[in-house]
């Protein structure tokens, strides 16, 4: 059941950073490209009109593929298969070689539906396969589609081909068809930009850059990827129908491997996690052959050389070149100044009187006993310290609670409910949040967007609502943004809200992770060495922040090597050694425990 606490506890913190100027800065490339595209027919040059039409069609496909490759990080090289499917579906339906002839616009809709279905089929292996294995699957699918088109002569015409759809009236003229393609390209740009700015877009980037952290905040990768493959396949099918009309007559030879490489490289040279970059990449790669016609036989080599050049000189692609905001220097001597008094209103609830309990938990990796009969209780409103030498099982314990590891035996309970082993993405729904030993940041996203990821499960809008930016989506974004800004203010990072997370100092990343965890409005918060790399003053402020969190109701399980922090703020301490409990008690009892002093604290 969805917890609605976020919608009722967002804390206003005044005006967000000036949004009008930021929007204008983000929109000017789109406005410039749009103005040039609309004005192109004024030149009267129909040849360049055809090139521009082809660029629009390619972008319709790349706009959807960008969510798969640029945002989700999937290597989908054979996406030309869905262009082929869409082209043949629209052509066959308008030609009437398999069914009674349909009007071109109806055939285009069917082509989109066919693309969506087969986009889902192509995407299924991505749930099990990664990197180049998935790439080979998409290429194999492209080969299968081409062979079917060749073999099914009674419908597709085989090697001879089939006429493409011809649109009626004004759309049958070169400039009329160009404006139709331009309108569809603009709609696809708008829809993908809406997704990029939604919790779904942030979730895709989180899955790409920090999948473990994404799971911790309730992001379920299979459902997310299949939804994106469905949409990307649909727009690829529509692009295929438009491509068939532009070609007038299609054969399997029109859908080459070079075309598939073009789509993929356009995204890579454009920049991952960007909309405008891949758009410019698509335009460049469509126009480039017109200036280098004698080198057309070397097109694959030229694409590879261009990609290598971009990777070596501009790793972030074209998007980085025009991202002026993130090239501005940051203030050097920055100070993290948390406001612990804001934590209570942010949490916005009193945790139920139930404990998080581990009963006789054991876990082995091969012949190594990582946890051996662990009993542990984290009570609401308390800080429970978990300490011990390296390799004693502290982080492994957190991973068991988080659902990343399933114990060999024992029980994990939240109050009277047993938490099923595994299912890491389900822990967020039980309001169990965590940070990580090494900060898991989404580097291409801003600090604000990184923190908003923590509230993903509290969004209510569907993918379709976000695609069309309907009211519930806008309400979700407004509430999440306001809550994230309030949380950043509470941990002392509000001035850095608009900065890319990979530009932050290590200490700032630690506090950003805590802010992201607080976005979940947790009942229990697990902190894995949050003081690592912090200065003495920052550790003091961290301790004050953690105490403020427990006073608001949640229980905190703190794994830490800074003994002073543990003894200063913990209500209860458990010491592990070789996966077993060496000692448990109050900080005063642990500080004087002879075996603990000998094994861990030293003289």
Strands 383-387 and 249-250: unpaired
Query: What is the per-residue pLDDT for 9?
Result: 43
11 and 346 Cβ atoms separated by less than 8 Å: yes
Note the pLDDT of residue 161.
87
Q: Which two tokens stand for residue 220?
A: 């379920």
Does 205 lie in the same domain as 105?
A: yes
Count of structural domains, the chain: 2
pLDDT, residue 296, reads: 61
| Structural domain ending residue among the three candidates 290, 324, 358 | 324
Contact 557/398 with Cβ under 8 angstroms? Answer: yes
- What does 240-289 look like in DSSP terms, one character per residue? HHHHHHHHSEE-GGGS-HHHHHHHHHHHHHH-TT-SHHHHHHHHHHHHHH
1 secondary structure, DSSP code? -
Assess whether 318 and 394 both reside in one domain: no
- Does residue 595 fall inside a structural domain? yes
Report whether 566 contacts 542 (CB < 8 A).
no
CB 386 within 8 A of CB 559: yes
DSSP 446: B
Task: Provide the residue range defining the domain that includes 401.
Answer: 380-405+423-441+511-601
Q: Do 288 and 428 share a domain, yes or no?
A: no
> How many whole angstroms separate alpha carbon 210 and alpha carbon 202?
11
Q: Do 274 and 386 sit in the same domain of this protein?
A: no
Instruction: Specify the residue for token string 């294995």.
Output: 133
Q: Does any domain span residue 504? A: no
Residue 417's pLDDT is what? 87
Nearest to 127 by CA among 211, 62, 186, 48: 211
Tell me the pLDDT tens digit for each residue of 404-416: 999 999 999 998 8
- Which of 282, 307, 324 is the last residue in one of the domains? 324
Domain co-membership, 318 together with 387: no
What integer pLDDT is reported at residue 593 of this predicted model? 84
- Three-class SS of residue 574? strand
pLDDT of residue 436: 94
Residues 287 and 140 in one domain: yes
Residues of the chain with pLDDT under 70: 1-25, 292-300, 349-352, 599-603
Helical H runs in 98-220? 104-123, 131-151, 153-156, 174-196, 199-209, 211-216
| Boundary of a domain, candidates 306, 324, 342 | 324
Radius of gyration of the chain (CA): 28
Q: What's the farthest any 2 CA atoms get from each other in the chain?
A: 91
The pLDDT assigned to 183 comes to 96
- Whether 332 maps to a domain, the answer reads no
- Residue 434 and residue 398 in contact, taking contact as beta carbons nearer than 8 Å: yes
In a domain, 470, yes or no: no
241 closest CA partner among 49, 105, 441, 48: 105
**Predicted local distance difference test score (pLDDT) of residue 395:** 93
Domain CATH number, residue 388: 3.40.50.300
């Amino acid at each position: 059941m969805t917890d609605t606490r976020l919608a009722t506890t967002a804390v206003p913190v005044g005006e967000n950073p000036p949004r009008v100027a930021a929007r204008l800065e983000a929109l000017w490339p789109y406005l410039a490209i749009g103005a040039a595209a609309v004005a192109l027919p004024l030149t009267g040059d129909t040849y360049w009109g055809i090139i521009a039409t082809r660029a629009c069609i390619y972008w319709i496909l790349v706009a959807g593929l960008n969510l798969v490759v640029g945002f989700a990080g999937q290597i989908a090289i054979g996406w030309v298969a869905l262009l082929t499917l869409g082209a043949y579906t629209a052509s066959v339906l308008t030609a009437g070689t398999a069914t009674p002839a349909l009007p071109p616009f109806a055939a285009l809709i069917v082509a989109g539906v066919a693309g969506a279905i087969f986009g889902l089929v192509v995407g299924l292996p991505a749930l099990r396969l990664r990197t180049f294995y998935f790439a080979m699957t998409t290429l194999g699918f492209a080969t299968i589609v081409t062979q079917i088109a060749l073999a099914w002569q009674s419908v597709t015409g085989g090697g001879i081909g089939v006429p493409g759809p011809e649109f009626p009236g004004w759309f049958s003229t070169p400039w009329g068809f160009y404006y139709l393609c331009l309108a569809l390209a603009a709609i696809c740009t708008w829809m993908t930009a809406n997704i990029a700015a939604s919790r779904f877009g942030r979730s895709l980037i989180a899955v790409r850059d920090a999948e473990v952290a994404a799971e911790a905040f309730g992001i379920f990768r299979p459902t997310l990827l299949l939804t994106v493959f469905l949409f990307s396949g649909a727009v690829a099918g529509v692009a295929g129908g438009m491509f068939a009309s532009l070609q007038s007559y299609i054969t399997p030879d029109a859908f080459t491997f070079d075309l598939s490489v073009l789509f993929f490289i356009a995204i890579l040279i454009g920049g991952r996690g960007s909309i405008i970059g891949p758009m410019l990449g698509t335009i460049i790669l469509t126009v480039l052959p017109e200036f280098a016609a004698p080198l057309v036989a070397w097109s694959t080599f030229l694409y590879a050389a261009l990609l290598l050049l971009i990777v070596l000189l501009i790793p972030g692609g074209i998007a980085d070149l025009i991202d002026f905001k993130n090239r501005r220097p940051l203030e050097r001597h920055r100070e993290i100044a948390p406001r612990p008094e804001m934590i209570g209103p942010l949490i916005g609830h009193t945790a139920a009187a139930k404990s998080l309990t581990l009963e006789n938990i054991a876990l082995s990796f091969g012949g190594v006993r990582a946890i051996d009969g662990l009993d542990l209780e984290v009570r609401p409103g308390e800080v429970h310290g978990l300490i011990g030498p390296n390799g004693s099982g502290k982080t492994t314990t957190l991973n068991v609670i988080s659902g990343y590891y399933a114990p060999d035996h024992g029980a994990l309970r939240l109050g009277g409910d047993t938490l099923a082993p595994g299912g890491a993405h389900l822990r967020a729904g039980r309001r169990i949040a965590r940070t990580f030993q090494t900060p898991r940041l989404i580097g291409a996203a801003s600090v604000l967007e990184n923190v908003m990821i923590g509230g993903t499960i509290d969004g209510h809008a569907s993918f379709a609502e976000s695609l069309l930016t309907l009211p519930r989506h806008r309400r979700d974004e407004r509430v999440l943004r306001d809550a994230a800004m309030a949380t950043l203010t509470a941990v002392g990072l509000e001035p850095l809200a608009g900065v890319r997370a990979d530009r932050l100092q290590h200490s700032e990343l630690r506090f950003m992770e805590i802010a992201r965890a607080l976005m979940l409005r947790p009942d229990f918060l697990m902190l894995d060495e949050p003081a690592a790399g912090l200065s003495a003053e920052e550790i003091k402020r961290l301790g004050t922040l953690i105490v403020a969190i427990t006073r608001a109701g949640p229980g905190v399980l703190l794994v830490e090597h800074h003994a002073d922090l543990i003894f200063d703020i913990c209500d209860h301490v458990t010491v592990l050694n070789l996966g077993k409990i060496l000692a448990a008690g109050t900080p005063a009892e642990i500080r004087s425990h002879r075996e603990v002093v000998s094994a861990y604290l030293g003289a």
